Amino acid sequence: MSFSVVALSALVLYSLCSIAYVYRWRGRTRYASLTQYLRKSWPIFAPLNCVLYMTTRPWARGPVTAAERMPNLALLRDNWQVIRDEALALQAGGAFEAAKAEGSAGSYDLGFRTFFKRGWSKFYLTWYGTTHRSAQRTCPRTVALLNQIPEVKGAMFTVLPAGSELTLHADPLACSLRYHLGLRTPNADACLIEVDGVPMSWRDGQDFIFDETIPIRPATTRATAA
């Protein structure tokens, strides 16, 4: 048997094992069916993600990580009221609704269209080396803070109005961790997401980091969270 055949067979076997591991054994949260897994979790990326899981630092391998593990994020936490004020000014001006309005550039962000239908909205600040001009104009202090933290590759404001919902979802690639900082929230346990069975409620000025390649359980709010 030639080396190329052996190598290809090993790659196929590794890929199948990676997909099975993510579907059946990684974490505690399970998809309701294989069909839901195929639709929600982008199994084509499982082989790459498993390499990334194995090379992640031990303290960051859990579903939720204390934000204090990344000291630079204290700059955002310490200035959360500054960030909040710019976010609320955007909301008052209708920027979030405009960003998801039919025909706008944001409405073509296919990864979020389902969330748009259930009330969620967003406003991009920075995205992998690009700072949006609208953010520079309307949120200069927040952008200045983000520019001081090279670990933050992408940032956005999001709003989850009262009664809205986030369906079961997961990020396709394990290239980064997700950071949440509460700005204006009900400060109640009922306003939460569940990360691999761990309920994480949003609170004003409080933050946490989590791995969003683990399926995130539906979140609901009884009051607006931003």
Kindly report, residue by residue over 142-201, the tens digit of the pLDDT.
999 999 999 999 999 988 887 777 778 888 899 999 999 999 999 988 888 899 988 999
Q: What pLDDT score was predicted for residue 117?
A: 60
Radius of gyration over every alpha carbon of the chain, rounded to an integer in angstroms: 19
Q: What pLDDT score was predicted for residue 95?
A: 86
Q: What pLDDT score was predicted for residue 114?
A: 58
Average pLDDT over residues 111-130: 73
Give start and end residues of each alpha helix (H) in 21-122: 34-40, 46-55, 74-78, 80-92, 95-100, 113-117
Is the pLDDT at 5 greater than 60? The verdict is yes
- For 105-127, b/e burial (b = at least 16 CB within 10 A) is ebeeeeebeebbeebbbbbbbbe
pLDDT bin (cut points 50, 70, 90) of residue 118 is low
pLDDT bin (cut points 50, 70, 90) of residue 223 is very low
**pTM above the 0.95 mark?**
no
Q: What pLDDT score was predicted for residue 167?
A: 77
Kindly report, residue by residue over 57-113, the tens digit of the pLDDT.
999 999 999 999 999 999 999 999 999 999 999 999 988 887 666 655 555 555 555
User: Which of 2-6, 79-83, 210-214 comes out lowest in average pLDDT?
Assistant: 2-6
Give Cα 191 distance to the centre of its chain.
Answer: 16
Q: What pLDDT score was predicted for residue 6?
A: 85
More confidently predicted of 121 and 15: 15
